[in-house]
């Protein structure tokens, strides 16, 4: 049961990292400081003041940056690898915790999972979850830029921020709901990403075909023009002497 709850909390936090990299880290740091989120001994630094200040500052910069059209695309290039790292860290922080011992039976405190297993699951599940949500986020932003020339990107960015806050708070307060929502929506999100990418490939192919047809028409026109110029030059040349 403890492993299931830890996985649910980690899934919620990792999915939130796919929407905003530093916001889940910032909220998790505050939750750790307030003893609302349990982490392993190796992750107690999350509740330290430097971590809270650093993640808080980065969160403000990230939120403001994603409200500026076209700047958000540049941030996506940075957020893609960072989201995977943040997702892996937060997932592992939930799996690498110590279970309290039993005083009555004199059992000492023991880790929930072996650190190697915790880190493996954190990298595989946490990083993949964050990367999947990040891919959906990027695909949606690209579609918004193409369809609206970037005008709706600030609204899209604000919606992502709100969803990241909701996902993070659910992972801290009600991890079962957060994990259930991620497990339910992640396949749908990945399918939507696949459809968007397929549509983008189709649009790109159609655009390339139009460019190729335009090049062929231009080449044909130039060839016909050169033939006419050659014919005209031959017809107006000096007549041969008798």
- DSSP for 206-217, please give it: HHHHHHHHHHHH
Stated as kind and residue range, the H or E segment containing 169 is helix 153-173
pLDDT of amino acid 238: 55
Query: Coil, strand, or helix at residue 99?
Result: strand
Matching residue, tokens 């540049």: 74
The per-residue pLDDT for 150 is: 76
User: At which residue do the structure tokens 């009600």 appear?
Assistant: 174
Give the β-pairing of 110-111 and 98-99.
antiparallel
Give the pLDDT confidence of 147-160 residue by residue, as tens digits.
887 788 899 999 99
pLDDT at residue 109 in the model: 59
Least confident of 78-82, 103-107, 136-140, 210-214: 103-107
How far are the Cα atoms of 6, 43, 98, 157, 159 from residue 142, in angstroms, in the given order?
34, 35, 43, 12, 15
Angstrom distance (rounded) from CA 185 to CA 105: 43
Q: Is residue 148 part of a domain?
A: yes
* Chain position carrying tokens 């932003």: 141
- Please give the mean pLDDT across all residues of the chain: 85
- Of 99, 97, 121, nearest to 42 by C-alpha is 97
For residues 154-174, average pLDDT = 93
pLDDT, position 226: 75
Of 48, 69, 50, which Cα lies nearest the Cα of 58?
50
Domain that holds residue 183: 2-197
Longest dimension (CA), the chain: 129
Q: Which helix (H) or strand (E) holds 127?
A: helix 127-148
* Helix, coil or strand: residue 98: strand
118 — pLDDT class (breaks 50, 70, 90): very high
pLDDT for 204 equals 76
What pLDDT sits at residue 223?
79
Assigned domain for 206 exists: no
> Which has more confidence, 85 or 146?
85
Residue 165 lies in a domain: yes
Residue 224 lies in a domain: no
Strands (E), 100-165: 110-111
- Residue 26: name the closest of 49, 56, 48 by CA: 56
Number of folded domains that form the chain: 1
Q: Is residue 232 part of a domain?
A: no
Residue 172 tokens read as: 């801290």
pLDDT band at 111 (very low <50, low <70, confident <90, very high): confident
> Taking a C-beta distance cutoff of 8 angstroms, is the pair 3, 90 a contact?
no
Cβ count near 159 (within 10 Å): 13
Grade residue 103 by pLDDT with cuts at 50, 70 and 90. very low
Instruction: List all residues 6 or more positions away from 65 whose beta carbon is below 8 Å from its beta carbon.
Output: 71, 72, 75
Report pLDDT digits (tens) over 2-56: 889 999 999 999 999 999 999 999 999 999 999 999 998 889 999 999 999 999 9
Point out the least confidently predicted range of 92-106, 163-177, 184-198: 92-106
Burial class (CB within 10 angstroms; exposed 0-12, middle 13-18, buried 19+) of 154: middle
Is pLDDT at 108 greater than 60 in this prediction? Answer: no
In a domain, 101, yes or no: yes
């Amino acid at each position: 049961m403890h492993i299931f709850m830890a996985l649910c909390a980690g899934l919620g936090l990792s999915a939130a990292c796919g929407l905003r990299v530093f916001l889940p880290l910032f909220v998790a740091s505050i939750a750790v400081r307030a003893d609302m989120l349990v982490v392993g001994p190796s992750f107690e630094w999350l509740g330290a003041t430097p971590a809270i200040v650093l993640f808080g500052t980065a969160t403000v910069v990230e939120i403001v940056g994603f409200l500026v059209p076209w700047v958000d695309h540049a941030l996506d290039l940075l957020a893609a690898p960072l989201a995977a790292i943040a997702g892996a860290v937060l997932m592992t922080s939930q799996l690498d915790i110590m279970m309290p011992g039993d005083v009555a039976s004199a059992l000492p405190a023991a880790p929930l999972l072996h650190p190697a297993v915790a880190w493996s699951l954190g990298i595989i599940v946490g990083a993949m979850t964050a990367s999947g949500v990040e891919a959906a986020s990027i695909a949606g932003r690209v579609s918004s830029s193409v369809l609206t020339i970037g005008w709706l990107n600030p609204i899209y960015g604000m919606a992502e921020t709100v969803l990241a806050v909701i996902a993070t708070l659910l992972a801290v307060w009600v991890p079962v709901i957060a994990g259930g929502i991620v497990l339910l929506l992640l396949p749908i999100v990945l399918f939507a990403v696949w459809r968007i990418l397929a549509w983008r490939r189709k649009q790109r192919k159609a655009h390339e075909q139009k460019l190729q047809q335009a090049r062929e028409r231009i080449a044909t026109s130039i060839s016909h023009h050169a033939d006419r110029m050659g014919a005209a030059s031959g017809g107006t040349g000096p007549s041969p002497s008798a």
